[in-house]
Amino acid sequence: MTNPPSTPEPAAAPAGTPGAPRTPGGRGTPAAEPEPPAPERSSAPPDPAAPEVPGPRAPGRPARPTLRSDLRASWPDGLVALLITAAVFVLLYIRIRDQTSSTVTVMPFMADAGAFWMYFLSQAFGWSALLWAWGTVVLGLLLSGARPARLPLSGPRLERLHRTTSLNTIALIAAHALLFAAELVRHDTVAWNSAVATAFVEAFVPGGYDSGTGRVAIPVGQAALYLAIPLGLLFYVRHRIGAKTWRILHRCVIVVYVLSVWHTLLYGTNVWYDGWFRTSVWLLQIPIAVLLLARLLRPARRSEKLSARPGSTARTRTGWALRLGGRLAVAGVLVALVVVVVSGNDGGRSVPPDDTSSTHNHD
């Protein structure tokens, strides 16, 4: 083996340079400084139990988003959500006061808008939560698939907006549920501790609400709340659970949105009956179905593409069948949504129900 060329000695510092060491017997002649010993390299493999010391972040590389930073960045979006909620509350209040809302038909005892203002505020938070959930899903579908050439904001800004709308959606759903429980407590005539316990069971325990349509609608809304919280916060621990696991779980967010729409159509007294308001709720689902179908037809990852042939092994054939079935199912939903909107026949009630009783009525 050829020996490496010797390292040239460093040039001597000029005489009289401040801090230049001098030899004992000469003037201005610097003494050569000894080189520090090279660190010894161990040939032993690294200890897997030893803690890993994180290295410095590369220059120009953005820091990983944290829950704290996104919470700080979510206040403009949250302020807009509160303003929208206030506007919806005023609209609901005026319609109840003027007795033009179908809520008065469903629950005649609520004609006194001032007595049940907290319930209408809960409804307002529910509507804004549904609107913010819609925007979150739309942003997620735009970011997860092949992005359009022109977007109003850059990719990083859209991603942050997607995260902040997700956090605000969770807050709006929680406010909707808490105000609903508070309304139950306010109109209960028993002791406050018993009223709080009853309201907690009816608002937050599946099966605890046993009146009318709420026996199905309330558990559906509870499922949306209990799924939205962990699915929305998993993003901030995806470096611990793995990107693949996080992607699989994050796709379940669409289930939360479907449950939210189902809860609204079942229990939202404003949309119980056929009409333009109920049809508008169905109309808003068409863009989501279109974006979801486009996401499936043009996936960003090569592994998610649908090949022309199912494959030779049982595993590849199963995956191919699932991908094809998903595309056909979404296409069928899109066609059904168009039919519902055009025909106006969407399953709404055409006459008031025979039983308009509710646990809100404690007279």
What are the pLDDT digits (tens) for 170-198?
A: 999 999 999 999 999 988 888 888 999 99
Residue 308 C-alpha from the chain's centroid = 34
Name which residue leads in pLDDT, 52 or 265.
Answer: 265
Contact present, 19 and 42 (Cβ < 8 Å)? no
Neighbours of 116 (CB within 10 A): 22
Ranges of H-type helices in the chain: 67-73, 75-97, 102-106, 117-144, 155-186, 192-204, 214-233, 238-241, 243-250, 253-267, 276-283, 285-297, 314-343
Mean pLDDT, the chain, as a whole number? 80
Burial environment of residue 62 by CB neighbours within 10 A (0 to 12, 13 to 18, 19 or more): exposed
Q: Which of 24-33, 83-92, 289-298 has the highest mean pLDDT?
A: 83-92
Map tokens 């316990």 to a residue. 197
Taking residues 214-234, report their average pLDDT. 93
Which DSSP symbol is given to 121? Answer: H
Whole-angstrom distance, CA of residue 324 vs CA of residue 329: 9
Structural tokens at position 327 = 């595309």
Dihedral over Cα of 149, 150, 156, 159: its sign: negative
Which DSSP symbol is given to 111? Answer: G
Task: Give SS3 for 237.
Answer: helix
